[in-house]
A and B are shown apart, each in its own frame.
Chain A
């Protein structure tokens, strides 16, 4: 491969692997989100310029941090032509650093990403904005991807993120990991955010692929990072849940990216290592006195994972866990999932009764899976005309390719009436 192409490939590789880590470190060094973003872009531009002739550095990520930081400080110096540099201690200090020890590359601390996560999830920022900001800044999702995950219009989401950054800047929210005392309270938001990232990767809300592997492993990595810092039951529970979902990745879609339902999946393709790890974490999480929602959801996932065939699934135990979950954190989506389990244990008629009760509330009106589930119950009850309506409704609400095609196939398979 020609030299230039090799260098370009390496830069792409570093971008894919390390750009978020580099970004987090740049925020620490520059103290500002927008400057860090500019610096990141400048750094990669510098790499494209210099590496073909200078060669690929031994520690590419550190080189990029250094380059980005230097360019940013240089830019700031040029922007403030009339200010005396003595009045800007941060700039002059940084410049002094650069010139005094040019060989000392800035450390990309693992901590930087955690710091970034906790800052983005600060309680002074509105909860929805916390998650949006984290998804944007820590995980690099686009505003559109985040908007789809929240069933929110993209401009609304963009506004939300801009306001959150403004809040951090104007109110001076410090870029820090919370103290031990504040930590548990701050953790709640972080876990919620990590789970949303995982879900975005697990079932992409837009586009043609049913899953996006990078985001899911990103979320799992974040989960492990947080677990290291805070070995709490709910962190265990969340990590377990993600690992157990992830264990089914290979079985979840065909080679063409078409959806395969849980019941139809080849269980030989399930990753037993991830299942073992997830199950162990669940067991540990369930032994504590205060069992939380993530641990409970993980327990349900573990029951699926441990069944050799669909027929062996312990649906009664699963419904039991849903009941506890509903008491802890009542939500229409959990109630919906419970009806699916009810259909397996008690048949679709009872499940449909429960689901119609939920839909009467209106909360699930725009939720594709509610109508898809309803369509499925109706199909199993041979109420084909109603099933057709429900599938049509579900399809209208589905932005994602494989899920859409799956529903269309089911719709087409209904007998003509």
Chain B
């Protein structure tokens, strides 16, 4: 099951964790088949927020909301259950300095099409007529 681990850091600890340490951990997860993707982010000063209301595009400088701890990066992981996801998140190096939000992902719900089986097909063919 997939979990998104969002790394949040306050400004004073933004650089507390060296990239090499994060990279090492990412590599470990990859080797264990737990990492699907992960990226660090530029600081929130580089963010741009886009909204569309009533057909109008609004562009603002900065993150969608100013928070004490800001989004610094993410790890998309594959774990057996929440307990394993928590264990993985706990070892994310910035966890010592900030907060890691662990959120389960879900599949998009798309309209179900009945699967084609031999019965369905011949019944449909019969119903369709000559």
Contact = CB atoms under 8 A, between A and B. Distances in A.
Interface of A: 82-84, 122, 124, 170-174, 176
A172 B1 contact: yes
A170 B106 contact: yes
B73 interface: no
A173 B82 contact: yes
A170 B81 contact: no
B115 A124 contact: no
Contacts of B1: 172
Nearest to B102: A171
Interface of B: 1, 80-83, 86, 102, 104, 106, 112, 114-115
A359 to B, nearest CB: 36
A172 B112 contact: no
A124 B82 contact: yes
Contacts of A122: 82
Nearest to B79: A172
A174 B84 CA distance: 10
B81 A173 contact: yes
A124 B86 CA distance: 9
B81 to A, nearest CB: 4
A176 B114 contact: no
A124 to B, nearest CB: 6
Given A170-B106, A172-B1, 4 more contacts: A82-B112, A171-B104, A172-B104, A174-B81
19 contacts: A82-B115, A83-B115, A84-B115, A122-B82, A124-B82, A124-B86, A170-B104, A171-B102, A171-B104, A172-B1, A172-B81, A172-B82, A173-B81, A173-B82, A173-B83, A174-B80, A174-B81, A174-B82, A174-B83
A125 to B, nearest CB: 10
Task: Classify the interface of chain B: helix, strand, loop or mixed.
Answer: loop
Contacts of A82: 112, 114-115
A49 to B, nearest CB: 34
Contacts of A170: 104, 106
B45 to A, nearest CB: 32
Nearest to B1: A172
Residue in A84, A172, A174, A176 with the greatest tally of chain B CB atoms within 10 Å: A172
B63 to A, nearest CB: 25
A226 to B, nearest CB: 20
A287 to B, nearest CB: 34
Residue in A82, A83, A124, A171 with the greatest tally of chain B CB atoms within 10 Å: A171
Contacts of B115: 82-84
A124 B114 CA distance: 38
Residue in B104, B106, B114 with the greatest tally of chain A CB atoms within 10 Å: B104
Nearest to B104: A171
A241 B121 CA distance: 69
A122 B104 CA distance: 16
Nearest to B117: A84
Nearest to A84: B115
Contacts of A173: 81-83
A173 B106 CA distance: 15
Nearest to A176: B83
A124 B89 CA distance: 13
6 closest residue pairs by CB, A with B: A174-B81, A172-B81, A171-B82, A171-B104, A173-B82, A82-B114
Contacts of B112: 82
A84 B117 CA distance: 10
Nearest to A173: B82
